[in-house]
Chain A
Amino acid sequence: MIIYSLTFYLFSTVAVFSALMVISAKNPVHSVLFLILSFVNAAGLFVLLGAEFLAMILVVVYVGAVAVLFLFVVMMLDINFVKLREGFLQYLPFGLLLGIVLIIELGILFLTKNFPNTSTFKEDYFSNFSNVENTKLIGSVLYTKYFFLFQVSGIILLVAMIGSITLTLRNKDRSKKQVISEQNTIKASKSIIKKKINLGEGI
């Protein structure tokens, strides 16, 4: 149990510290790297909770794909973060207000203790499954009880994808393209012409 809590404090401290560094680092690339560190530590916390599937999905999707593209964009764009930070004091009261509201809400939630306990949640929904891997558990809930919502979120993502492709698709006639099948079927007789050139004449 001591090891468990020590690991928890390790992961959570690093996660909070790196989250702070994300907003305070001067270099945007460092910010993204700290964001990745924070994600990885969050994955560690998931593992401690026994949600190993969620932890792995977090690493694969957010760290492996989303953050790579994020890093890509930050490295390519020349963002002047010092300039972005000029309005810091102006936005500070509003940010503080949001933070305070969030803390008060969380406080109310904890004081009233009305939120569903994780153990009772498990008993209610998964009483039929004991000792089942949580991959199967998630699958059995996601594809039965929440099937409709799951499909709807998939369609929303598809619409977003189509939208972004339409936005970036340039005029088709103007862009140059290679037809691979043509390149592969080309023959020497089509592309090379043999000529006999007389001396001093040229082609």
Chain B
Amino acid sequence: MLYDYILQLLIIVAQIMAVIAPVLISVAFLVYAERKILALIQLRKGPNVVGPFGLLQSFADALKLITKENILPSGSNKIVFLLAPIVTMVLSLAAWAVIPFAPGWVISDINVGIMYLFAISSLGVYGIIMAGWASNSKYPFLGALRSAAQMVSYEVSIGFVIITVLLCVGSLNLTKIVEAQQTVWFAIPLLPMFIIFFISALAETNRLPFDLPEDESTLVAGFFTEYSSASFVLFFLAEYASMILMSAMTVILFLGGWLPLFDIYPLNIIPGVIWFTVKIMFVLFLFIWVRGTFPRYRYDQLMRLGWKVFLPLSLFWVVITAGFLVTFDIVPN
């Protein structure tokens, strides 16, 4: 009886490790990829000294940061200040529990998978608010307020986009969402929603052109101005881990998850995990490409885009999709 429990526990821990370790390693290489791609866009060379082609640059940076002194500002609220990066990091890793990498390759295949992802990503704002408030300093506080308003506004349109997809699937289970895309990926019939989701994902992860919470030209470094050493590393890791997570969500909702491009001979013998990874890398490339191309939004423009453009458009599309499905009698289940 007891041994059964212990065995089960060990299996779960092993599964968690098998997911988290690749995610953290891919974060390191994502940082490298970002620096390299940005360098190519700006006609520079990028990191090329540490390791072959500069591949070990991120590891060197992490080591450097961790060995530095962790500074606690004297006016800060110590417990909340230390809790904030931990909360951010834990949340960005906890969401990976429900991501299906291939048929059956998922830690927990729950019925409300997409709701779980949505809930976890909406909790992400707390790490930022806590960091901004606990630092007891002007710039982090302003960054935290901006981020709270921004993330809440873009979550609304993300919610409607998810509803549109769910209408076409008839289930909240992520595996079923992917399986519903056997005939056609949702990116094609729901193209406007795909674009809205991608742009909202940029805002949700505080990436350029929506990185106002950490806008260096006005707010020094935004909500993590006062952070140093390991706690800064945690924020940094969490930001990139949630970037990968949002890409994985985009892939599952719109780009057919682990499904091959076409279900024909040479393509469908490639394992699902590889398709999934390649699609995630494609979306991540888009993230970095956008960063290298677009200027930062002004704050009022950002709010206008969220509430006055995306919200009505996505609400309208929910109604249109529901109407279409009912009229042509193709409502799933």
Does chain A bind chain B? Answer: yes
Residue pair A56, B119 in contact (C-beta under 8 Å): yes
Instruction: Tell whether B300 is near chain A: CB-to-CB under 8 Å.
Output: yes
Instruction: Tell whether B130 is near chain A: CB-to-CB under 8 Å.
Output: yes
Residue pair A69, B152 in contact (C-beta under 8 Å): yes
Residue pair B80, A33 in contact (C-beta under 8 Å): yes
Residue pair A52, B123 in contact (C-beta under 8 Å): no
User: Which positions 157-178 of chain B face chain A at CB distance < 8 Å?
Assistant: 159, 171-172
Instruction: Tell whether B125 is near chain A: CB-to-CB under 8 Å.
Output: yes
Instruction: Tell whether A68 is near chain B: CB-to-CB under 8 Å.
Output: yes
User: Which positions 2-38 of chain A face chain B at CB distance < 8 Å?
Assistant: 3, 27, 29-30, 33, 36
The stretch from B45-53, B66-74, B107-115, B250-258 touching chain A is B107-115
User: Which positions 173-203 of chain A face chain B at CB distance < 8 Å?
Assistant: 178, 180
Residue pair B171, A133 in contact (C-beta under 8 Å): yes
Q: A64-B155, A180-B304 are in contact. Are A72 and B145 (CB under 8 A)?
A: yes
Instruction: Tell whether B122 is near chain A: CB-to-CB under 8 Å.
Output: yes
Bound CA span A178–B125, Å: 29
Q: A33-B80, A59-B123, A64-B122 are in contact. Are A178 and B112 (CB under 8 A)?
A: no
Bound CA span A177–B151, Å: 24
Residue from B5, B116, B152, B304 in contact with A68 in the complex, judged by beta carbons closer than 8 Å: B152
B80 proximity list for chain A (CB < 8 A): 29-30, 33
A26 CB to closest chain B CB (Å) equals: 12
A178 proximity list for chain B (CB < 8 A): 300
Residue pair A63, B111 in contact (C-beta under 8 Å): no
Chain B interface bracket (under 10, 10 to 19, 20 to 34, 35 or more): 20 to 34
Residue from B77, B115, B130, B301 in contact with A56 in the complex, judged by beta carbons closer than 8 Å: B115
Residue pair B129, A52 in contact (C-beta under 8 Å): no
Among B80, B115, B155, max chain A CB count under 10 A is at B115
User: Which positions 79-115 of chain B face chain A at CB distance < 8 Å?
Assistant: 80, 110-112, 115
Residue pair A65, B152 in contact (C-beta under 8 Å): yes
Question: Which residue of chain B has its CB nearest to the CB of A53?
Answer: B112
Question: Which residue of chain A has its CB nearest to the CB of B5?
Answer: A3
Instruction: Tell whether B126 is near chain A: CB-to-CB under 8 Å.
Output: yes
A30 proximity list for chain B (CB < 8 A): 80
A115 CB to closest chain B CB (Å) equals: 28
Task: Report A45-69 CB contacts with B as 1/0, cut-off 8 Å.
Answer: 0000000110011011001110011
User: Which positions 117-153 of chain A face chain B at CB distance < 8 Å?
Assistant: 133-135
A56 proximity list for chain B (CB < 8 A): 112, 115-116, 118-119
B130 CB to closest chain A CB (Å) equals: 7
Instruction: Tell whether A157 is near chain B: CB-to-CB under 8 Å.
Output: no
Binding site for A on B (CB under 8 A): 5, 77, 80, 110-112, 115-116, 118-119, 122-123, 125-126, 129-130, 133, 141, 145, 148-149, 151-152, 155, 159, 171-172, 300-301, 304
The list of the 9 closest CB pairs from A to B, nearest first, reads A64-B122, A56-B115, A59-B119, A133-B111, A52-B112, A60-B119, A56-B119, A56-B112, A68-B148
